[in-house]
Amino acid sequence: MADPYKSLVSTLEKRFSEIAAKSLSGIPSELGTITVSGLKLDSFKYEIPDYLVANWVAQLEYPAFSLVGTMTSPVDEDGVTIGGATPSQRTRFDFQETKVGEVRLNWAAGLKSGDRVLAVPVNGGKDAVVVCKVVSSGG
């Protein structure tokens, strides 16, 4: 059986690439690096301390899929077992196709010093908007 999450990730990557391509068509963009105190664009000698980060809102579309696992009951709010609970026999969980709207992707929370990013200089180069993190095709 095909991994439904792999399909979901592939679909998301494709859609975000399409959105980014349309958004950036004709707009100069460049690579930069997140630093401890800001953003350093490759073609600009000064660090930008107060950079902006794109705010992406998407609709996730999950295909119908199944997972196999066990259930443990009872558990508390944090999922910690209560009173010596034991796992059930292996069980198949079937999920229907569904859409989840207004999902916010928090890019800023995932950025750390040393990350390579694609940025768009704005306001005559005084500011920059980080559009996404970039990685090599090997990982």
pLDDT of 55-75, one tens digit each? 888 899 999 999 999 988 888
Domains of the chain: which residue ranges?
A: 4-133
pTM above 0.75, yes or no: no
pLDDT in tens, 14-53: 776 666 665 555 567 889 999 999 999 888 888 888 999 9
DSSP assignment of 53-95:
E--EEEEEEEPPEEEEE--B-SB-TTS-B-TT--B-S-EEEEE
